[in-house]
Structure 1
Amino acid sequence: MPRTSSLAFLTLDHHVVHGRADDVALSDSEGDLTFALLLDQVASLAGALRLLGLADGDTLHVEVAGRPRAIAVLAALRLQVVPGAGGAALSGDPLVASVGAEEVPWGALREIGRTDPLPAPARDLDGVHAWREAHPDVIDALLEGQTLQL
């Protein structure tokens, strides 16, 4: 079996695989999410964005705060897209995903992606580490196995 060392794998899947599925990964005013529950939400969002047509190397602009920002950034890693304007976007109030001419409400994305959640890639593509540079508070805490406090 090939060794998986992508940033997406190391931030979430690694902790679940190594017995920390029930440990708290994210804590905010909405409550706590375990590593397993956060992984479910991230993989579902990444799957939904893929079903909407977003693919490796495409750009995604994330303009959201709090829990949705953390989930969106982690989903972007999983999807192997790069940060930037001009492609798809997660933004607005109410929050929507805009991919091409499609606009899908945030609440529907998890349900769409739940049918085909995206697994972590084995390796990172060029440009993916820009997410870590832009959102170190999200990624570094989880890489270290700490609880992300939002």
Structure 2
Amino acid sequence: MTSLIYRVLDERVIHGLADNLAIEDERGTMSYAELLHESASVAGAFTSVGIVPGAGVQIDLDHGRELVVAVLACARVGAVPRDSVEFRVAGMPPVLHLPDTEVPWDLLIHAGRTDPAPAPPDDPEGYEALIRGAYPDIFAALEAGEEISTSG
């Protein structure tokens, strides 16, 4: 079966929802196409710093667009949301904490734009249930082609 991230985000953009509202918050709106672009960019940056399929990434972000983008970036690379001593996204604005350095969110987005991560062709056994279970509201909204709630 095709990967979850491809089915719920990439296919939505390809099949006509590109300009539909994905997120609206106090900073403005983000379309499905913009969400795809931003999450693929962050995923590209994740892979460049060593976040690979199966790697644990701890996401300590409040509800908001950065949480959504971080979750979708993890799904795009196949990273597993869990407590991790190696990779952690936290703060506002978010920072990716690595063993030897920290990378600010805006740098992740800009760096990843040069090599955005494609959606994987499929997910490893059990991955879809794991990521859906960790972030059910995000994936349910995407699957329905709806706006993702960014309120707490």
TM-score over 0.5 (shorter chain): yes
Cα distance in 2 for residues equivalent to 1:15 and 1:118: 17
Report the counterpart of residue 17 of structure 1 in structure 2.
14
* RMSD (Å), alpha carbons: 1.4
Which consecutive residues of structure 2, in runs of 5 or more, have no partner in the other structure?
Answer: none
Which consecutive residues of structure 1, in runs of 5 or more, have no partner in the other structure?
Answer: none
Q: Indicate whether 1:114 and 2:113 are aligned.
A: yes
1:1-150 matched pairs, under 5 angstroms: 5-65=2-62, 66-86=64-84, 87-129=86-128, 130-150=130-150
The amino acid of 1:7's aligned partner reads: L
User: Shift in Å at residue 94 of structure 1?
Assistant: 4.3
Asked if 2 retains the 8 angstrom alpha-carbon contact of 1:81 and 1:128, the reply is: no
Alpha-carbon deviations, 1:49-92, whole Å to 9, x = none?
10011111111000112111010001100010111122311013
Alpha-carbon deviations, 1:92-141, whole Å to 9, x = none?
34421012312101111100100000010010124533221111111110
Cα distance in 1 for residues equivalent to 2:126 and 2:113: 26
User: Shift in Å at residue 149 of structure 1?
Assistant: 2.4
Runs of 4+ in 1 over 4 A off after TM superposition: none
The amino acid of 1:41's aligned partner reads: E
The percent of aligned pairs where both chains have the same amino acid is: 38
The TM-score normalised by the length of structure 1 is 0.92
Corresponding pairs, count: 147
